[in-house]
Structure 1
């Protein structure tokens, strides 16, 4: 067998491990180490006395990955962004956002559902974790929706699906991971997520209104708020936008000239500002301890996945599977856009069996070079490319689309993590009911993805405006 055959065989074995329930981090690490041993041993003709030599070399090669790849300043963004979200919860910003959204848009059909979507979008702007966002709003929004007569499946589905917006709206941990995998500018990817995230929130809100209009008493509106009460709710919600403004100004400096700091420094500054707000709202050591512990747990989970998958990625490099896949993709006798759509459909299927971060880490080393090749290569000009954009623009555009596809993993049975989190917070609502309530939002996600493909300017406008074409 040549290296590519070994790569295919090991990849198939890894997928089997995932399907039988082995965690992605461990399945990828086992497959990567086994593949490295196989490749090094095959170079010696599979001689029996060379197996332990191959094992030693493979272990040394795999052992370099955790430090060399994870000791990256860009990855330090992940715990700071996650910490911002937990501290914002203890600062009372989530309740303030939901209350303001309820008073301003609660009068709409499905008003509390729409309020949940918009409040979640606002909270996503200071939280990098979808799971944390869903857990927070399951405690805040679902009780209020149930009190006014919402269908409990629908209420839980709104929270689970709205929580996925934290994957797209900066600061997003998964966008940071994407940028590092494909070696693109982290700041550009984060900036590119704002408009698509807002676009997705609007589509979600429109779907909620449509469902409330279609089904009687599905999502009754909330009325009775005066204009004075509406304006009175805004000051408590302003700190969210203040923190977002600080991070944006610090990282991008829209006034011209060099940036005032790195994204990591901007994230740390944002965490410090929210920490001061939480102290002012009465946060004490037990709450701070909980925020730090939850941040550590989620960060360790993400970094463990990264460690394991990068061992597998190192093996893919030796097997030359990414290059072979790119050549095969570009040789297909069909339009590049059709090929891209088929790739996205494959992501939708994979999302049924894998978590979002693991799926991207496993597939991007192979898929990303193929997409760039479809567009015309690393040095193609926008005018000559298949998708009408430069290689850098294509990398950003594809990143936002594939992260939006990854959001489906969070609400797709059987392992949709957001749905399990909502059910865990609300024992009176089963996981099956949360999945059922989430199902209409697949339509909204399909519309959002179609819009981002048809109008790439939604993704590229802000990066081109503030960072240059």
Structure 2
């Protein structure tokens, strides 16, 4: 075998790509360079130029992929409308009187805000400013306070509108609408498992935090009324997807419009806030699509090498139960998640993994939810743990090790959730199977 053999070129490209990423080269630069070089080596410089120019556009210049900037805009408008503080205040008033109530309120609030924001890191950053000071001021242990904020932010990865689910749908070429619906029940389950984890922790260790103030039913109902905007957007997104009346992009556009209306009537909202929301949406969208375009160039090169099919054929030839192989794949993601961010990890591995998943007979939507849940786990595990570093970035006075220690119980909770999703696939598939159209 020579270096010009397609399979050898494929293997060398993987080694080179991982090396570049390990050296700190941005993923979109590394993937585009390696993909282009591989195409040039196999098909010539002119063909490589043509494919590198046409492939990203041909794959992503479609109406359904405009859902991503729509959902991002929805989340930024919700932030500037002050929805984050409103949802936390409502949750605090309802459950703050329980032991660990502020931690419970943080989980409930991050789950609620996740329904209008598809970005995990943004959710953690926002609640580090809002919920973390409240917990520390009330006498909660710093570790659990920081850990629950870092972990709560991960819920935005599953609960629609989820940006990372949209990205998975683009690469896997599967229904984005069904993917988004499929994430709702697992996302709610994750939040419930977090709530149970907090309840057990504070029962076993009451010194983690005191019982909070209780409120009258009238005060609770008054706080709930402030959530009308989020409730309406959730109804539009889930109702539109479930009924089939709206496409994913239309649900995002309708949700963003409703949130804009709430912003207009929000005291203190300025035109500058709208400008900032639009600019941030454009910046994040450009960043994500740059990664997608670069990886698509690399994926096109891999298609010529035949390496993904060779790997799938080798894995399928193993004398092992398909669930054993699945667990092996998920463990690989745990390791990769220690060194790579979630989006890059998914985009670079899916070309190899999806043919294997198809060959094993697993549903791609179900696997997508499992995979995104694994990405959530990586957000709170060392050494990268992006959400942990987001919390530390906002509160540099709290050591990273302290935040990781506080997030560890939620890592265990996530493992339990993944096991449930594997054992009971209908948790994922029931809702999208009811989807109209």
State the TM-score bracket (shorter-chain normalisation).
over 0.9
Q: 1:279 aligns with which of 241, 247, 264?
A: 264
Q: 2:116 aligns with which of 126, 131, 151?
A: 126
Instruction: Give the match's secondary structure for 1:359.
Output: helix
> Which residue in the other structure is 1:206 paired with?
196
> Which residue in the other structure is 1:6 paired with?
9
Give, in angstroms, the shift of residue 65 of structure 1. Answer: 2.7
Q: 1:175 aligns with which of 161, 165, 171?
A: 165
TM-score with structure 1 length normalisation?
0.89
Give, in angstroms, the shift of residue 459 of structure 1. Answer: 0.4
Q: 1:349 aligns with which of 335, 344, 352?
A: 335
Give, in angstroms, the shift of residue 67 of structure 1. Answer: 1.6
Alpha carbons 2:178, 2:435 under 8 Å: kept: no
Deviations 1:374-394 (A, max 9, x none): 11xxxxxxxxxxx6xxxxxx1
> How far, CA to CA, are the matches of 1:86 and 1:221 in structure 2?
33
Instruction: Give the match's secondary structure for 2:87.
Output: helix
> Which residue in the other structure is 1:256 paired with?
none
**Is 1:262 paired with 2:247?**
yes
**Is 1:31 paired with 2:34?**
yes
**Is 1:369 paired with 2:355?**
yes
> Which residue in the other structure is 2:55 paired with?
65
Give, in angstroms, the shift of residue 24 of structure 1. Answer: 1.5
Instruction: Give the match's secondary structure for 2:292.
Output: helix
Deviations 1:25-47 (A, max 9, x none): 1121122112222223xxxxxxx
> How far, CA to CA, are the matches of 2:238 and 2:72 in structure 1?
17
> Which residue in the other structure is 2:185 paired with?
195
TM-score with structure 2 length normalisation?
0.95
Alpha carbons 2:241, 2:435 under 8 Å: kept: no
> Which residue in the other structure is 1:313 paired with?
299
> Which residue in the other structure is 1:232 paired with?
222
Deviations 1:272-305 (A, max 9, x none): 1001101111311121122222222221221111
**Is 1:138 paired with 2:128?**
yes
Alpha carbons 1:85, 1:132 under 8 Å: kept: no
> Which residue in the other structure is 1:383 paired with?
none
Alpha carbons 1:78, 1:128 under 8 Å: kept: no
> Which residue in the other structure is 1:446 paired with?
415
Deviations 1:27-83 (A, max 9, x none): 21122112222223xxxxxxxxxxxxx223222221223322221222211111111
Alpha carbons 1:81, 1:271 under 8 Å: kept: yes
Give, in angstroms, the shift of residue 215 of structure 1. Answer: 2.2
> Which residue in the other structure is 1:432 paired with?
401
Alpha carbons 1:28, 1:311 under 8 Å: kept: yes
> How far, CA to CA, are the matches of 1:299 and 1:37 in structure 2?
29
> How far, CA to CA, are the matches of 1:171 and 1:421 in structure 2?
21
> Which residue in the other structure is 1:297 paired with?
283
Structure 1: stretches of 5+ with no match in the other structure:
41-53, 254-258, 376-386, 388-393
Give, in angstroms, the shift of residue 412 of structure 1. Answer: 2.6
Give, in angstroms, the shift of residue 369 of structure 1. Answer: 1.4
- Aligned length, in residue pairs: 433
Instruction: Give the match's secondary structure for 1:414.
Output: coil
Alpha carbons 2:111, 2:159 under 8 Å: kept: yes
Deviates more, 1:443-452 or 1:22-31: 22-31
Alpha carbons 2:181, 2:241 under 8 Å: kept: no
Structure 2: stretches of 5+ with no match in the other structure:
none
Instruction: Give the match's secondary structure for 1:225.
Output: coil
Deviations 1:170-216 (A, max 9, x none): 00111111112111111111111110000000111111222222223
Alpha carbons 1:24, 1:354 under 8 Å: kept: no
Alpha carbons 1:158, 1:437 under 8 Å: kept: yes
- After TM superposition, the runs of 4+ consecutive aligned structure 1 residues lying more than 4 A away are none
Give, in angstroms, the shift of residue 354 of structure 1. Answer: 0.9
Give, in angstroms, the shift of residue 436 of structure 1. Answer: 2.8
Alpha carbons 2:164, 2:372 under 8 Å: kept: yes
Query: What is the alpha-carbon root mean square deviation over aligned residues?
Result: 1.5
Deviations 1:87-124 (A, max 9, x none): 11222221111111112122222111111111111111
Give, in angstroms, the shift of residue 409 of structure 1. Answer: 2.7
